[in-house]
Structure 1
Amino acid sequence: METTSRAVAQAPAAEGAQHVPSARRTVDGYLEAPFPWYGLDEAFTGPRWLMQVGTAADGAVEHGSVGHGDEPSVRHETAGEDRGKFAVVVTVAANPSRRSADGTGLLEATTVSSAAWLAGVGLLSYTWPGQMDHSLRDDWLDQQTETAWELADDLGGPEWSTLSLPVDGVPTPFHYRESEFGWVLAGSTQEGVHVGAYGRGMSAYGLGFAMIKDITAYA
């Protein structure tokens, strides 16, 4: 479905993963990307922060995420505790099928499903059900990750609806779904990248996306 392996996409969701405070995150990887980054547009006036980039085997940056609002944490999953309000925007380079770095095979093209997959797995990074036994978390994550993969592969299925949101001021169709954990959406831009997003506590219906003019402003 996409160039990034499941192992890479699952990395942020690994049990016990610690999310580095914004001040310690580096903008270098974002600056190396040969494609534009997207975030929420100027209508959003809250905090913005870097997350991480994903790279191919040859080190080329292929996707990455930026956050908006309260930095989410699995610590908020305790029953009755405020989970925070956030929206994360995932940018994925739109790449056609091409040869792997070692020339031994072809890498699959990135598609809107790639953005939907990364957004779905990203949401799982902060979604441990309250009071779940520690020994059951790996099984739960495996099951939910497989479900996210299957859903991303079937964007025309009944689990998804269509939502029109502005991208650089232009109404753009997105695939959208909600769950008990939050929401996920995915679409494409006129700038040759796919955009995914996930969040909770912030309504997806009121969001707008825009090309980030200065990614260092997120650092």
Structure 2
Amino acid sequence: METTSRAVEQTPAAEGGQQVPSARRTVDGYLEAPFPWYGLDEAFTGRRWLMQVGTAADGAVEHGSIGHGDEPSVRHETAGEDRGKFAVVVTVAANPVRRSPDGTGLLEATSVSSAAWLAGVGLLTFTWPGQMDHSLRDDWLDQQTETAWVLADDLEGSDWSTLSLPVDGVPTSFHYRESEFGWVLAGSTSQGVHVGAYGRGMSAYGLGFAMIKDIETYA
């Protein structure tokens, strides 16, 4: 899924646990999306915050992320460390195979696998194993990103289980997996978008998703 990111990049802000300043967040990219955004439903009463949008080569918004709970920070995973509790919801426009803007080729379709991959990479972005030398982190992240893609491309495989969660109040089937870094899930909605999510410290089993009525309230 070839996209670029705008607004706040979902990449390490700094080492040592520093968080990305909320003041840098902007709602503009979200408002340009021709599809609805999803977040946790009203049962979640904690903090919500904007993260980033991803765009295609022609600038069209194709996906984006909304955070819930504690803002995750980039830091080593150490035993007994309080890593915070968060869940991030990724909304991906459901696009069929379509022609590129210049008419010379076809653009890749988006699917539930796209949502699963974006969620898997999102979780990795804020995590790396303890005792790993910083110079090795890029190699580790490249390897794990490839693994996330392989897993996302095989949602019917043994690495995934099925989890039913409400979406706009309707029970919906999601593909779900856990790892030492947290959990990832992905499914589709009746509103023409795919939804992925990832998190840690918050159980995925009690979550519900709902279309965001006014994304500007997150700014």
Shift of 1:13: 10
C-alpha distance after superposition, 1:73-119 (max 9, x if no partner): 01363443200000000000000000112211001110000000000
Shift of 1:22: 2.1
Equivalent residue number for residue 44 of structure 2: 44
When the two chains are superposed, the root-mean-square deviation of aligned CA atoms in Å is 2.9
Shift of 1:134: 1.2
C-alpha distance after superposition, 1:32-63 (max 9, x if no partner): 00000000000000000000000001110000
Shift of 1:143: 1.1
TM-score by length of structure 2 reads: 0.92
- 8 Å contact 1:79–1:131 — kept in the other structure? no
Distance 1:160 1:13, change over 3 A: farther
- Aligned counterparts of 1:134 and 1:3: Cα–Cα separation in 2: 27
Distance 1:24 1:57, change over 3 A: same
Distance 1:170 1:62, change over 3 A: same
- 8 Å contact 2:161–2:176 — kept in the other structure? yes
Distance 1:43 1:7, change over 3 A: closer
- 8 Å contact 1:166–1:172 — kept in the other structure? yes
Distance 1:76 1:139, change over 3 A: closer
C-alpha distance after superposition, 1:10-39 (max 9, x if no partner): 967999998632232000000000000000
Shift of 1:188: 0.2
Three-state SS of the structure 1 residue aligned to 2:8 is: helix
- Aligned counterparts of 1:133 and 1:52: Cα–Cα separation in 2: 28
Aligned residues: 219
TM-score by length of structure 1 reads: 0.92
- Aligned counterparts of 1:154 and 1:111: Cα–Cα separation in 2: 12
Distance 1:10 1:112, change over 3 A: same
Distance 1:150 1:52, change over 3 A: same
C-alpha distance after superposition, 1:104-138 (max 9, x if no partner): 10011100000000000000011111121112111
- Aligned counterparts of 1:201 and 1:49: Cα–Cα separation in 2: 17
- Aligned counterparts of 1:2 and 1:156: Cα–Cα separation in 2: 24
Q: Where does structure 2 lack aligned partners over 5 or more consecutive residues?
A: none
- Aligned counterparts of 2:188 and 2:68: Cα–Cα separation in 1: 20
Q: Where does structure 1 lack aligned partners over 5 or more consecutive residues?
A: none
Percent of aligned pairs with the same amino acid: 91
- 8 Å contact 2:55–2:61 — kept in the other structure? yes
- Aligned counterparts of 1:146 and 1:7: Cα–Cα separation in 2: 25
| 1:137 to 2:137 alignment | yes
Distance 1:16 1:205, change over 3 A: same
| 1:185 to 2:185 alignment | yes
